[in-house]
Structure 1
Amino acid sequence: MTYRGLPYFVAQRANSGSRHDPYASERHVLPDRVGGVRYSAEPHSPRRRVAPYPTSGTVAPAHAHDVPSPDDTPTLSEVEPLRILVAVMLMAVVALAAAFAGIGIAERFTGSVDEALAEGGVLQARSDDVVVHSTPSSAWEQGTVPQLYQVDPQWADRPYAESTLGAAGSAPLALAMTRIAVTGDRATGPVEVASFVQSAGFADEPDPTRLLTDGAVSLGLAARPVEASEQAVRRQINTGHPIICVVSGGAFGSHPCCIVITDIDRHGKLIVNDPGSIERTERHWTFDEVLSVSSNLWAYSTAQVQ
């Protein structure tokens, strides 16, 4: 046989019966590391030795302290500002919704309590979905014309003439307001005046002239006709005499009704109490607006003062 171009003989040891390769002691050097495995150059050795593979940072296993713990919470600096703003706005919206809901509940509760108030509180009634407040009898006093409304539940359904005080009671309500202001009598209100008007036969007359003159005298008042002029009205108001006007037309409607002129404001407008409308009572009027639609006017005082 030849090896590297030279002949060589294979010898067999006598004691083993096997062949001996004279070149078997020669070691062939291979690369030290291939894929982390070192190979032996011994041709007849079935063993191989595994060399440790050097680790690198890219494949090194993570240490325990590098792995975030589930219990770790982000600091304020790590939270996005946009998320904070959205959370604050959401809380503000929820707070506003709760506030409005609370206001609605409070208003319903207050309305229920007001409806259940006994006499002596502020009396309420509804006319065209507007809450009407009549002046309570505890606040009636001489020199002040109270606000009394036909739709007040104390007397709204009380029969009057061929209808009710709520529908056709402007004249007795106006007379009751005027009498309270002149005399200060709290015992005679709209119900008592309406009862007197009914029993005296004034309620059946479509023209309220007799009621507002003769009827007023029977109730202890002195009625004095007033000219429908600004000067005449100012004279009576400035001396403390309320005036009842029978008006028809304009803002007061097509049907005749009675209102009470109570005062003149600092702008020179008339303050009136209209028993048929809280809106017209709360508004102040020019002299022309009232006097141009007035058919009759009377100023009132006590019967002893003429």
Structure 2
Amino acid sequence: MSAAIEVRGLRKSYGDKLVLDGIDLTVAKGTIFSLLGPNGAGKTTAVQILSTLSTADAGEIRVDGTDLHQDPEAVRAAIGVTGQFSAVDGLMTGRENLILMADLYHLGRSEARRRADELLERFDLVEAGGKMAMTYSGGMKRRLDLAMTLVGRPRIIFLDEPTTGLDPRSRHDMWTMIRDLVAGGVTVFLTTQYLEEADELADRIAVLDHGRLVAHGTAAELKRLVPGGHVRLRFTSPAEFALAGQALPTAVANSESLVLQVPNDGSVHSLRDLLARIDDASLEVDELTVHTPDLDDVFFAVTGQSTQHEAALSTDGTTK
């Protein structure tokens, strides 16, 4: 697949603070790429540079096939940006916000209104389109914000923590809209603090920590970096539990709960082998549960921080 974004050796400092330390990344066209990292890791700085809102100290950057340093105007024509904080003007109606954005793209009066109405319908905002945006719920504002990003029909969209502060239903609605965009050929560069969001949406994920990429790959590939996968076997009979311990000597036993934890990577081959051993020993297992590492485990392993701890430390929801 051809690349929508190519970055080599990207560096950025603010004074004596090194924020991005020579990062390399490639984003394939028509995919969702998610950049994860704790607060202060450099996620927003990376988005600002790639979207021409800030300049890099060093590095090669190509966006939609264009050298960003040589032709930033062409890059701006190809991209859209939805930041952490809504660009919606609360004193204007939803439709007026969209028309204003269309005017900035010089679409012309009739085309601007046609495009606004098209986007209001696409994002289920037709009824709200004539109301002041200050009356919108958080989810509605984020939908309008995304609609405003799409006015210029960008081929690449940067979404910087687009669901921060939304309730679970609104977050899932936003996920659906993002998937629909990609199905239509748009490339999405997503930063998020929600590991579930990256797991649900991203084709590829990179983890940024202290300005460096410390892990990258698909969600499945990243999860395989972390040990600790196991199968939990629960028994109702102490005698059966004792027999199982003999048949499965690598298991960690909890005699009080009659539970064995058998190391297992969760693959079909490994599970088939374990089930065969259980069957050969004629064991009566009351409950079997497969436990595999998730992205929270990956995040903690490669950054030394848990996402829950990060959220507790964050007071204003920003990431630099």
Bin for the TM-score computed over the shorter chain: under 0.3
Indicate the structure with greater strand content.
2
TM-score with structure 2 setting the length? 0.20
More helix by percentage: 2
Larger CA Rg, structure 1 vs 2: 1
Q: Which has the higher contact order (CA 8 A, sep 6+)?
A: 2
TM-score (norm 1): 0.21
